Structure 1
């Protein structure tokens, strides 16, 4: 339930962002995308992930997928 609620909130934020960007927005039907709707650049995604984990006090080690697994409740 928590994941579904979070995704609905994320979708609402994306809709608001789409209105701000206007005609420059490209709809690729992605859950996570750049501010203009295009696929995320891998380097930017890694940088954002490292910043998020740093902000919550959990420095990542290894690949992001391994870090997500460590941060997820069992």
Structure 2
């Protein structure tokens, strides 16, 4: 039921993805290094984004919030941008 042993595959074929049945000895450490690098990059982008974030100082008409109705006394008031 196991399907038999793995058949011999050509040794002269090279693949950047590792080829057939790849299992490098240091796959765990490679995965941890890539994971740590990705975490550092995500943290840097997140911090930069939070530092440079600009929020609107007044209600945005397209936001759909009730804050816009509270700031304007008349519904047909023209907005000046």
Q: What is the TM-score when the length of structure 2 is the normalising length?
A: 0.27
**RCO (CA 8 Å, sep 6+): is it higher in 1 or 2?**
1
Larger radius of gyration, structure 1 or 2?
2
Q: What is the TM-score when the length of structure 1 is the normalising length?
A: 0.29
